[in-house]
Amino acid sequence: MTLVPLPAFIAVSATLFFIGVAGVLVRRNAVVILMSVELMLNATNLAFVAFSRRLAVAGERGSVFVVFVFVVAAAEVAVGLAIILAAYRNRPTVDVDQLDEMKG
């Protein structure tokens, strides 16, 4: 059984990353933007794991890194949702385009 080559993983990772970036750029819903960011983080995780497993020089640090990313991302989401919720209480919308009172 042949292994899936490393570039394939990287291609998938890059695709995920760009989908995430595009999501951040085009979506207006704060929660969806947050989900797009998570997609970018997962693209990163995929890259880390792939590099870690397939690069001859690489050790297990890549996989360790992924664990840290999981934990930190969870914290980030928790804080993020709290912030979105606090904003929602004062102004019931999740459309970030309407958050434009400060500009210039």
Q: Are 44 and 52 in contact (CB under 8 A)?
A: no
Give the three-class secondary structure for 94. coil
How many Å apart are CA 17 and CA 37, to the nearest integer? 9
Beta carbons within 10 angstroms of residue 94's beta carbon: 17
Q: How far is the CB of 82 from other proteins (least distance, A)?
A: 8
Q: How far is the CB of 1 from other proteins (least distance, A)?
A: 24
Q: How far is the CB of 7 from other proteins (least distance, A)?
A: 11
Is position 63 an interface residue for other proteins (rule: CB under 8 A)?
no
Is position 3 an interface residue for other proteins (rule: CB under 8 A)?
no
Give the footprint of other proteins on residues 5-44 (CB under 8 A). Answer: 10, 13, 17, 20-21, 24-26, 28, 30, 33-34, 37, 40-41, 43-44
- CA angle (67, 72, 74) in 5-degree steps: 100
